[in-house]
A = this chain, B = another copy of it.
Amino acid sequence: MAGQCPWKQLILSALESNAHVKHSSYFQMATIGYNGRPSNRTVVFRGFEENNDKIQINTDSRTRKIDELKHCPFAEICWYFTDSWEQFRITGKVDVIDSSNSDPAKLQQREKSWFASSVRSRLQYLGPNPGLPCLSDKSPHELTLDPSSGPVATFCLLLLDPDQVDYLNLKADKRIMFALKQSADGEMHWYEERINP
């Protein structure tokens, strides 16, 4: 698998060399918003899906990005590592896995992601509807949650399946474009090319 996905090791190395900065797992995800305008927000990297290169993100099903992704399932992640000066622009299709998903394997994955996040993170999903007018100052910290109970209805797992990765290393002044393409044998393969920064 490593040979088929040559950019994954670059991300893992960047995560390692930036591990001391809390925000190294944060990146910006762009989608197509209402009116066809771009939409962009910070989200948290929740690891790669087991045994492949899909990127996991947790989100609230009540946020605008869910409707946006249902309308246009493509996203571009821009992940800048502030210490190593590396940027990854990762394009791909996003699978939205919410409580209504009909695939038991996907629901299991969603549950796994729920338990992998901290109880504090999970509490956010019990809060008031994100983006709606704020009616009270009640903090979600006043809410309580049984740590053993499964995902709440608003918890949603996003899986981004990359088909292009534009890697830029500002310290080395080097840029590589990775693209998933069909080869002569009909199989999908990752191709890479050095391009100008």
Contact = CB atoms under 8 A, between A and B. Distances in A.
A187 interface: no
B194 A75 contact: no
Given A37-B91, A129-B196, A131-B195, A78 B42 contact: yes
B80 A26 contact: yes
Contacts of A91: 37
A197 interface: yes
B32 A40 contact: no
Number of copies: 2
B76 A40 contact: yes
Interface string A150-191: 000000000000000000000001010100000000000000
Chain A interface residue number, banded? 35 or more
A85 to B, nearest CB: 9
Interface stretch (A46-54, A96-104, A133-141): A133-141
A195 B134 CA distance: 4
B38 A32 contact: yes
A78 B134 contact: no
Contact of A28 (B23, B28, B132): B28
B28 A195 contact: no
B193 A76 contact: no
Of A37, A72, A128, A173, which is in contact with the most chain B CB atoms at under 10 Å from its CB? A37
